[in-house]
Amino acid sequence: MRVPVIALKRRQWEPFAFASPALVLIAIVIVFPLIYSFYLSLRDFDLSVGSDSTFVGARNYAEALLRDERFIASVWNTVVLIVPSLVCELLAGLGIALLLNRVTHGRPIITALLAIPAMVSPVMAGMAWRMMFGVKYGAINNLGRQFGLLDVYFDWFSSPFMSVVAVVLVEVWQNTPFMMLVLLAGLQSIPQELYESARVDGASPRQSFWHITLPLLKFTMVVGVMIRMIDLTKLFGLIFVLTFGGPGGATETVAFNTYLVGFKDFRMSYAAALSYVIVGGVLIMTLAFQFVQRWREARAA
Amino acid sequence: MSTLVGTTPAVAVRRANRHRVGRLIADVFTYLGLAVTLVFFLGPFAWILTTSLKGNNDFFAFPPVWIPSDPSLAHYVGLFTRASGLRYFLNSLTISSMSMVAALLVSLPTAYAIARWRFGGTVFGTFLLVLRMLPAIALIIPVYLMYKTLGLTNSYLGLVILYTVVYIPFAVWLLVGFLRDFPVEIEEAAMIDGCSRVGSLIRVVVPIIAPGMAVVALFSFIATWNEFLFAVVLTGIETKTMMVLVTTYTSGGTDMFYGEASASVVLGVLPAFAVAFMLQRYLVKGLALGGTKG
Amino acid sequence: MRQLGFVAVLLVLIAVVAAGVLPVQAPAQGAKPYEGTTIRAVVNAEYVKYSLSLVEKDLYDKLGIKVDVEVIPLDAFVPKTLLEFNSGSSPWDLIMFGPSNMPDYGRHFEPLEPWTQKLKLDFQLDDIADVYKKLMLRHNGKLVSMPYDGDVHMLFWNKVAYERPDNKKKFKEKYKYDLQPPKTWKQWDDASEFFHGWGWDGTDNKLFGAGASYKPSGSGYSYHWWRSRFFSYGGQYFDADMKPLINSAPALRALEEMVRTISYYPPGVLLFESEEPKTMLVKGEIPLLYSWTSTGKRVGDARESVIVGKAGFGLVPGAEIDGKMIHRPAITPGRAMAVSKYSKKIEATMKVLEFISLPDQSLKIVMDPKTIMDPWRVTHFRSEKFRKAFPGAPEYLDAIEKSFPLVVPDPVIPGADEYQRKLSFEITEALAKRKPPKEALDSAAREWEKITDRRGRDKQKAAWGEKLAEMKAIGIEYHPDWAAKAK
């Protein structure tokens, strides 16, 4: 009678045994550091001054949210970068997905090719475009000059506005393919019969687009936008290589500012607090987005 | 209701022709649009590649020279020798390979536990979501301090551990998907034949979901290859990766060191090119889960 | 099967790691005293690595030592290196650093004097120009480093722009005084306005009015350019009580002038680091620039310069106060080389330091246009080879020496890098028109107070007190009234 008992026990600990390496590692490398970071954020640990620190409670958070002009400016900068990027990625992604949807042969190759920008590192994308933006020898200015469109010396980073444009451009270049893939998958899940019966009913292509495609694509678009929005809040590598936050602080994103505080000023506690403010912000933003979506859906019903 | 019913053959033919012309225009527009799209998305790579093969005469010329007149690998040689590029390329390769293998080793049993025994299923799902939203900066601050005390900065081990663990949730999620498609009967047959659980996992399941594992491996390779923040904070001269190498050219170097800069970009995007074709079917899922940005 | 493959991969990787990490250990045999030794250096730019490569062959031939140079980009350099040192170790033997940061670095360096005696080293200290002797050698009285790059600002102008009769006529008509290389800031601003936007070299090209570097990276750029104006209008970093004076009247006047005239500079000026304006100068696109002396080498380099023999060299503009000219060229940040006291190869590194500081080896480094290192030994300035290197070289070298008595350093106190960075950032914010000048400077002053508090107000006050006295001794003091009456 011992075998069933052992068998029962084994059943209970076997899954644990299988998952334990992962669980242990996650606990040590992710969960513990995050807790430690929160603990740090309640102190005033500053590596540039020394290794001692005292407990200061929520002071870092108060400073970040109320008195740190540079951090608040970086929040605004991040928003300024997110909104145009999302809009452009959605529109361009939709356009390309629609085009690609009409193609039958060659689609896998084109899809794979178009996906490449999304698979390279933002740092590499940033470097490639930085060279292309080069004032005197970059591809864009060379092209512009060759066609007589651009002035002798057009600098893409000469003003805060142009720098934002440049960053948005590279972001859109890199991530439209993702949006396009998501929307393409969504388009392909729409049953053809709907279009057929619409055409039989005399609907123009534009009408079927507005009344069939878009509504059925809405959910996919929402998912895509949410994923991209969360990714955009993490904008760091691209900024590092393309503008390093410049000119002045015009393209300093929240992640970049926190990096400077933590690894240039070495104010680790304050940086930890900033990172939690960012996490909180992303959470609120995501929840707000979902809330708005549900509210609009409820209204439409 | 359709107006086709009460028409003459002539009108029907004309309408059919208009349709065909309309479709032709739409087709031309489509292919033109896709061509422009391809040029836009792939053009930069082509330019960087040609730039890395250009000599000084071509790069600094105006009117601009688009195709190098005398292509040479001199910049790559310079990158590998003078700028120690070979060492950094090997670093990236080593770290990414080790992380990929380690992630698979740890994630497979975990995914198995979830797929077979519903082990804490929703927990992992929520964890994945949380991790997706977490900015890397939140993790690197405490990890950096911990590593400093443990002496794990500027070491392969430190980065590999970090990359492996950060990638576990994604790997697990993808593997669960593959495992769920796997027919349990084959496994049970093996176990009736006397295999242990672990044995059946290794000898039966793994060979069959090997393609799925390859997908996970490739994604994790790319994600760790592309990773930047952890690398820039935790590496030193011996362990610097390709991503960090590229940043040495940002300080006023893009004109003076254009050759090395463009060569390092070409090498840095090589994995993406290699992997894109292989991972086609899983691209949406992988990208959505954050599988390539790290 | 998979395990086998994994083990194989692991072995290969271990081999790679071992090859890359383990130092080459070989017995010191043979003709070369340190045969087989490799020491590790850390520098903050590719140019510096390149400059070391100029002497590495001779170094190896004579001593058998190889130098493995790591480049940490400018922006990360001070934080990363200080972090290593503060934790009590360093992976590097030879350290390049900015002497303005000596208060933060100095205690990690191995004093040179004991080794000078032990190894019979000769650093030829007498041959170092005074101004560098003061700034680049000592920490708490002990000799810890040798200069490597004498960074001083000077004025460069394009003679074509200044000598064309047509230009002279037009200028005189508009501004009512003769066109000459600017001596005051007003003359500089007038000239930049005058020269902007047309072909002052006689061609149809649209050229620019003047050059500068306004990017807030490393520890400066825009603040270096602002500082010369600031000090010539009577400014000073702090008062005796450690209160920042960087938002005082001289500061405001200096920044307002810069903001007002920024449209006469090339469009990318907000992101210019050290080399971009120099490139524009030598390509004849700007007529005026004040910048580091290494510019002069590029001016004379026929491989890229179109103004060889057509450039003038002089003193950075100043302000006229009560009939007297006050010039305050910046000396910043400079580069010096030191030996890490945590190094395991101090002896070999000392020999390397001696070697690269030798007059003829360092001359090689400071003469090459691609290294951007500036002369710092008296023999550099008197060297026949240097003086014959390009047309105008003698005037160039003499002009540098003329600036020496007037230079104004960085605030050389603990946290120097952070003070400068925060100020530079705010200055560029004002230049980018993201903030009004007054608000930017007030922000900077607030940041400075925060830094002083974090570092310990009393400690900072004591350190600053010394520097204040030193600057006073060479005539640099705070004069609030100058800003209004400076001409």
Q: Which of A49, A69, A135 sits opposite C455 (nearest CB)?
A: A49
pLDDT of residue A7: 46
Question: How far apart are the C-alpha atoms of B34 and A107, rounded to whole Å?
Answer: 11
Q: Is the pLDDT of residue C25 over 50?
A: no
> Distance between CA atoms of C179 and C169, rounded to whole angstroms?
8
Mean pLDDT confidence for B22-27? 81
Q: Which chains touch A (3 or more CB pairs under 8 A)?
A: B, C
Percentage with pLDDT > 70 across chain C = 94
SS3 breakdown of chain A: % helix, strand, coil, rounded to 5?
Answer: 75, 0, 25
CA-to-CA separations, B72 to B58, B76, B78, B89, in angstroms, rounded: 12, 9, 11, 20
* Torsion angle in degrees (nearest 10) through CA of A80, A83, A89, A95: -130
Which of B44, B229, B261 faces A129 most closely, judged by CB atoms? Answer: B44
- Which residues are bridge partners to C331 per DSSP? C152
CA distance B233 to A268: 13
ipTM of model: 0.86
Q: What is the pLDDT of residues A77-105, one digit of tens each?
A: 999 999 999 999 999 999 999 888 888 77
Q: Which two tokens stand for residue B20?
A: 């065909």
Token code pair at residue C136: 């680049």
Question: Which of B59, B112, B137 comes nearest A258 by C-beta?
Answer: B137
CA distance A249 to C425: 7
pLDDT tier at C39, thresholds 50, 70, 90:
very high
Nearest beta carbon to residue B139 from set A33, A236, A237:
A33
Q: B217: distance to nearest CA of chain A, Å?
A: 15
A128: pLDDT strictly greater than 90: yes
Mean pLDDT, chain C, as a whole number? 88
Between helix A69-102 and helix A107-119 the angle, nearest 10°, is 170
Q: How many CB atoms lie within 10 A of CB A134?
A: 19
Q: How large is the average pLDDT for residues C350-362? A: 92
In chain C, residues with a C-beta closer than 8 Å to the C-beta of A266 are 79, 83
Evaluate if residue A151 carries a pLDDT over 80: no
Instruction: Tell me which DSSP letter residue C263 carries.
Output: G
CA separation for the pair C429, C255 (Å, rounded): 11
User: What residues 176-215 of chain C have any CB closer than 8 A to a CB of chain A?
Assistant: 205-206, 214-215
Contact residues, chain C, for A152 at CB < 8 Å? 205-206
Strand partners, C221: C216
Mean pLDDT, range C244-248, rounded to an integer? 94
Kindly report which listed range (B110-114, C142-146, C171-175) carries the lowest average pLDDT score.
B110-114
Which carries the bigger pLDDT value, residue B248 or residue B2? B248
Tokens of C39: 């020491």
Cut 0.90: pTM above it: no
Look at A278 and B276 and tell me if their CB atoms are within 8 Å.
no
* 3-state SS class at A38: helix
Question: Residue C288 forms beta bridges with which residues?
Answer: C157
Q: What percent of chain B has pLDDT over 70?
A: 91
Q: Running DSSP on this structure, what letter comes out for residue C77?
A: H
**CB distance C81 to C95 below 8 Å:** yes
d(CA A28, CA B179): 27
Could A151 and C206 be called an inter-chain contact, meaning their C-beta atoms sit closer than 8 Å?
yes
Residues 6+ apart with CB under 8 A from B202: none
What are the beta bridge partners of residue C68? C40
Pick the closest to residue C367 from C390, C350, C346, C344 (CA basis). C390
- Using a CB-CB cut-off of 8 Å, the residues of chain B touching C68 are 237
Residue-level pLDDT at B292: 63
Q: How many Å apart are CA A74 and CA A255, to the nearest integer? A: 9
Please tell me the predicted confidence (pLDDT) of residue A293: 80
Q: In the predicted model, what is the mean pLDDT of chain B?
A: 82
Whether the pLDDT of residue B96 is over 60: the answer is: yes
CB contact under 8 A, A263 and C415: no
pLDDT beyond 90 at B7: no
**B117 C-beta neighbours (distance < 10 Å), count:** 16
Q: Which residues of B touch C9 (CB under 8 A)?
A: 97-98, 101
Lowest mean pLDDT among B160-169, B232-241, C12-21, C477-486: C12-21
The two structure tokens encoding residue B225: 């290859």
Return the closest-CA partner of residue C230 out of C56, C486, C412.
C486
Nearest to C73 among B87, B97, B247 (CB): B247
What's the pLDDT at C22? 46
> b vs e for A32-69, b when ≥16 Cβ sit within 10 Å of the residue's Cβ?
ebbebbbebbbbbbbbbbeeebeebeebbbebbbeebe
Averaged pLDDT of chain A: 86
CA distance linking residue A134 with residue C214, whole number of Å = 18
Cβ contact A119:B218 at 8 Å = no
- The residue type found at A263 is F
Q: Is C413 on the interface with A (CB under 8 A)?
A: no
Q: A40, B233: Cβ pair inside 8 Å?
A: no
Closest CA to B92 of B276, B217, B221: B221
pLDDT at C27: 41
Pick from B87, B148, B206: CB nearest C87: B148
Judge whether B4 is closer than 8 Å to chain A, CB to CB. Answer: no
Q: Find, in chain B, the residue whose alpha carbon is nearest to that of A268.
A: B141
The CA distances from residue C107 to A14, A225, C97, in Å, are: 57, 53, 13
Tokens standing for residue C151? 């960074």
Each residue of C121-161: pLDDT tens digit? Answer: 889 999 999 889 888 899 988 999 999 998 899 999 999 99
pLDDT score for A29: 92
d(CA A269, CA A43): 6
Q: Are C80 and C50 in contact (CB under 8 A)?
A: no
In contact, B194 and B133? CB cutoff 8 Å? no
CB C136 within 8 A of CB C368: no
Which residues on chain C are in Cβ contact (under 8 Å) with B247?
A: 73
Instruction: Give the pLDDT band (50/70/90) at residue A19.
Output: confident
d(CA B66, CA A143): 10
Q: Of C128, C99, C131, which is closest to residue C332 (Cα–Cα)?
A: C99
Q: Name which of A150-164, B228-242, C346-360, C385-399 the model is least confident about.
A: A150-164
Q: pLDDT of B191-216, one tens digit each?
A: 777 777 777 667 777 888 888 888 88
Give the tens place of pLDDT for each residue, C397-445: 999 999 999 999 999 999 898 899 999 999 999 999 999 999 999 999 9
Amino acid at C273: E
pLDDT for B232: 87
Subunit partners of chain C (3 or more CB pairs within 8 A): A, B
Task: Measure the CA–CA gap between C345 and C37, rounded to whole angstroms.
Answer: 9
